[in-house]
Chains A and B, each alone.
Chain A
Amino acid sequence: MSNVKGKTSSASIDVDHVAILANIPISESEKKTFEGQLEETIKYIEKLQEIDTKNVKPTSQVTNLENITREDIAAPSFSQEEALQNAKSTYNGFVVTEAILEEQ
């Protein structure tokens, strides 16, 4: 939460950057559509700036519950087979994914 004050009130969206952050592959044509649609939506939600929220606390939850925990008791887990049953690729009990390069 870089709580820096918003840059402009109706910012144009850097769709490419957002797509990278969101890990969403988008095509050039999608990019065009999204640009317009996202801006339309942003324009709508800008309405909120009309409301005075000085001294109002944000609500992230409506339940009023607090301190909900579980006791530290271990229970049985999935078998290895169950854990891997939906994975596209497995090897010796591991889930396989593309190599992650870490060092140059």
Chain B
Amino acid sequence: MKYTPVIGLEVHVELYTKSKMFCSCSADYFGKKPNTHTCPVCLGLPGALPVPNKKAIEWCIAIGLALNCQIPTFSKFDRKNYFYPDLPKGYQISQYDQPFCVNGNITLSNGKKIRITRAHMEEDTAKLTHAEVNAKNVSLIDFNRSGVPLVEIVTEPDFENAVEVVEYLKLLQQTVRYLGVSEADMEKGDMRLEPNISLKRPGENGLPGYKVEVKNINSFKFVEKAINFELERQKELLEKGETPKQETRGWNEQKQATLSQRSKEEAHDYRYFPEPDIPLFTISREDVTKTKKSLPELPQAKLARFKKQYSLTSYDAEILTREKQTADFFDEAVKIGNAHNIIPKQIANIIINKKTDLEKTLPAELIRTIKAQTSRVTIDQSDLEKIVGEVIKENKNIVAAYKAGKTNAIQVLIGIVMQKTKGQANANDVKSLLENQLR
């Protein structure tokens, strides 16, 4: 039988604000000595009260806008009540029915739109590790992470396979990095995801009557494995005529399997109610517009522009836009290169082949280096003509496109020639040679 996977995602992104969500303790907790970043608020001492971090809220809204969300005028915090030793107050301050961001979407490369239900602000829990102390199994608690700002991004169950999920995740990671609001490092736990997975029977209307939430996925590698394992497991159950249990499972890397998780609290009744310690929020339309305008060019837009404006292949453009720093560097280098007859492809090649350390080089320096190389070693004119001829022969499609009026296609050909000549030719010479031969 053919089952259709129904997958939704909850992703938690930890913001790298200077201070925590509701207190002034440093949020930079990773690798620090345990319990050295705490105060009455994040330890949940009697009488302590939360005061929200302005920057964290601004960043949450920026993330929402980057995901094409609507930002409602009214918003508030709520208490989500449950007991767990990593939750010092016995409740998590989160957002229930009036989150900062709602109804967004992201379009995948296959054209599919993934609907984003909401993006809301909350606080992280403490970190639990399990250990044996005095021959007894115990849990150790470090409250340094307690209260660090988190943005939870929830999608509709719009994914149908792990590949789509991974693409979405990479895009999300790239986006928050572009915004400069999180490192979104999965291994460090800055970005955590919980897919909920189920299978729809052929002909079944609506959503399946169960879903399985999978936790403990802390790298992109595991996402695919965990989802595929879970889909297979559920399929087997369904084929036996059983309905998989609605539960939370954890990915176990050693066993290469998802395992049922038994948490201490069995009843899931979070008893949400409006957080009385934090006044409500009214988000002005002016502020939303301002934030929207201040957003940087986002990864998908940048990728499209690089391909179009610089005539780069998808492959090149994708690598160059993976990180905002690289993309910015490239933009700048192209601008300078223009004045020296150096084409984008030449610059791209150098960056992609990692011939230069971007951290230590300025775009202008890179251009000087390219120029020095091209003027020092020059290629014999007849050799160059021969190569140009070969390239024209080998790239019939591009030639055809050029002849059909896509004049930009010549840039691609120049790029290929430059690559073949290992950058020894002058791009302008190549261009005129190409133009001559294609006439």
Contacts and interface: CB of A to CB of B under 8 A. Distances in A.
Interface residues of A, number: 40
Interface residues of B, number: 64
A77 B26 contact: yes
A6 interface: no
Nearest to A2: B269
B141 A101 contact: no
23 contacts: A21-B267, A21-B271, A60-B274, A61-B279, A69-B52, A69-B57, A74-B24, A77-B26, A78-B36, A78-B39, A83-B43, A91-B131, A92-B140, A95-B140, A95-B143, A96-B138, A96-B140, A96-B141, A99-B139, A100-B263, A102-B263, A103-B259, A103-B262
A55 interface: no
B273 A84 contact: no
Interface of B: 17-19, 24-28, 33-39, 43, 51-57, 76, 83-85, 90, 96-97, 128-131, 133, 136-143, 250, 252, 259-264, 266-267, 269, 271-274, 276, 278-282
A61 B280 CA distance: 8
Contact of B130 (A70, A71, A95, A100): A100
A66 B278 CA distance: 9
A80 B35 contact: yes
A94 B139 CA distance: 9
Nearest to A3: B97
A92 B131 CA distance: 12
Contacts of B26: 74, 77
A63 B280 CA distance: 10
Contact of B25 (A77, A92, A94, A103): A77
B276 A70 contact: no
A72 B53 contact: yes
B18 A94 contact: no
Nearest to B149: A72
Interface in A45-91: 60-61, 63, 65-75, 77-80, 83-84, 91
